[in-house]
Amino acid sequence: MLQIIELEGWNLAVQAESVQPVAGGYLLSGAQVAVFHDFGPARFYRHGFHSWSLSAWLHPSARLPRPVRSDIAPQIDSPELLAAYPHASSGLGALECPDGRVLLLGALELDAQVTNTPPVLRGAYAPGVTETAWFLAFGHEESVFFAYTKLLAGRRGVRGTSTPARVWCSWYAQYTAITQESILAALHGLSATDESACAPFDVFQIDDGWQISHGDWVPNYKFAGGMDKLAMQIHEQGFTPGIWLAPFIVQPKSSLFQAHPEWLLHDADGRLIPAGHNWGDWYYALDVTHPEVIEWLKDLMRTVCAWGYRYLKLDFLFAASLPGVRHTPMPPEAAFRAGLQTLRDAADQAAGGQAYILACGAPVLASLGLADGIRVGPDVAPFWDNDDRSNHLHDLSGPATLNGLRTTLNRLWLRPLIHIDPDVVFFRSRYNLMTPEQNAILQDMGLITGFKATSDLPMWLDPAERAALDQFLSVQPPVQRLSRYEFMVGERRVSYKFLEDEWSA
């Protein structure tokens, strides 16, 4: 049916199976819906598929070429969205009409995309999706996004309502070069019993570099003392032990890859589908609907929980959603969510409900209600931009503080549903190429999201930097959003206006 809706002077024609007014907007149904508007050229809110995928308000004149490297497409965004980049959006999309108010079209079920083809905003569910509800709202930006979160909360659930833990994470200091000794040195440098203690952290998290390979989640030669002993030592220093895993991906060098090629996602011709390229090789994805894979995943959760880890950073999770032939056929986000549900249930059971799951590289809307926290942007880095990736390869998902801030800022609306992790901030000037202003604006994002993490090695910080870190961790100033790009953080006005109308003509 086609229904005409008049919204305070603006005309919309809505094509859907049904259109029904609800609080704050309309409920639509239909595998395909279309909203015809008379806004003229309008900014478009594009929401990326997973943690690292570009989310931004795009000016109608924005020239944003498609990322060059199609071979690593799933690591950047969903392959379907990249086909219509950047005017296709994951789950929801929005337009800013000339008076500044916002029209939002948001899916209430998984596996949907919204595309901007002026003067039409289209919503489409993936083939095979049978529940096809949408929310359409018009009004002040913050209120329409908030109304959408309320409906998502009812459908998918809410986690992460408490104050997020303060996390020390090993990644952004030593990357994969961590050793048992370097981890212990950092631990003792941070611990409360140390004279020069600076750090009221809650979680001490070991990142990538401890395992033999992605697939063989056993400690490598650098962690010969065992991960259980390390968890005990972390616990003894008063921190919750945290560990990084990428449970859905498999490297060719792993024994898992050799032993169970049939567990990996293949295309219809039986060829392996690469999930991406990192650590110097291609990596592949598990079919998380395969009964033996499900058992293996449960076992992995039992193992790390039995070692004593309670904060689980589960990374590269998008891999479960690749298009491919599955043991049990299902659309991409549904497959991912089934895999995350397996991990959630197994971790809850093994840790008596005390496991915290931070989803990373994860389909965002499909993680709601299952993960406690989610990374909402690409990796930050001790540098501002990533010229090769951003400007030459047109890929805005690469590690760079600018990329992290941009996508995080455009996902702040998710906060009522889940802890949103903007990634770490830096207090060190050592091994840091950012200006004091760039550092400060990144630190402010930690305060705005309330998710506070750093990787700075305690011995890298001078006394003033230690004091600044201590202040950051101990004091939460009130935060008020003044506009899309401006905030009051305590008494300070903080502006991210440099993110407004990037790439416009």
Q: What residue ranges bind ligand 9PG (CB under 6 A)?
A: 52, 75, 171, 207-208, 244, 278, 315, 360-361, 379, 397-399
Q: Identify which of residues 52 and 125 has a Cβ nearer to ligand 9PG in the complex.
A: 52
The packing angle between helices 180-190 and 227-236, to 10°, is: 10
Dihedral sign computed on CA atoms, order 135, 141, 143, 148? positive
Question: What is the smallest separation between the CB atom of 138 and ligand 9PG, expressed in angstroms?
Answer: 35
Question: What is the smallest separation between the CB atom of 334 and ligand 9PG, expressed in angstroms?
Answer: 24
Question: What is the smallest separation between the CB atom of 467 and ligand 9PG, expressed in angstroms?
Answer: 26
Dihedral sign computed on CA atoms, order 163, 166, 167, 172? positive
Question: What is the smallest separation between the CB atom of 213 and ligand 9PG, expressed in angstroms?
Answer: 12
Please give the residue whose beta carbon sits closest to ligand 9PG in the complex.
Answer: 208
Residue by residue, DSSP assigns 222-290 as GGTT-HHHHHHHHHHTT-EEEEEE-TTEE-TTSHHHHH-GGGB-B-TTSPBPEEEEETTEEEEEB-TTS
> 486 near 496, Cβ under 8 Å?
yes
Question: What is the smallest separation between the CB atom of 289 and ligand 9PG, expressed in angstroms?
Answer: 25
- In DSSP terms, 112 is beta-bridged to 125
Prior bond of 436 cis (ω within 30°):
no
Question: What is the smallest separation between the CB atom of 5 and ligand 9PG, expressed in angstroms?
Answer: 41
Q: Identify which of residues 208 and 465 has a Cβ nearer to ligand 9PG in the complex.
A: 208
Q: Identify which of residues 390 and 439 has a Cβ nearer to ligand 9PG in the complex.
A: 390
> 119 near 10, Cβ under 8 Å?
no
Q: Identify which of residues 381 and 469 has a Cβ nearer to ligand 9PG in the complex.
A: 381
Q: Identify which of residues 189 and 209 has a Cβ nearer to ligand 9PG in the complex.
A: 209
Question: What is the smallest separation between the CB atom of 51 and ligand 9PG, expressed in angstroms?
Answer: 7
* Cβ-Cβ contacts under 8 Å for 131 (sequence gap 6 or more): 109
Q: Identify which of residues 244 and 309 has a Cβ nearer to ligand 9PG in the complex.
A: 244
- In DSSP terms, 134 is beta-bridged to 28, 107
Give the Cβ contact number of residue 111 at 10 Å.
27
Prior bond of 65 cis (ω within 30°):
no
Q: Identify which of residues 171 and 263 has a Cβ nearer to ligand 9PG in the complex.
A: 171
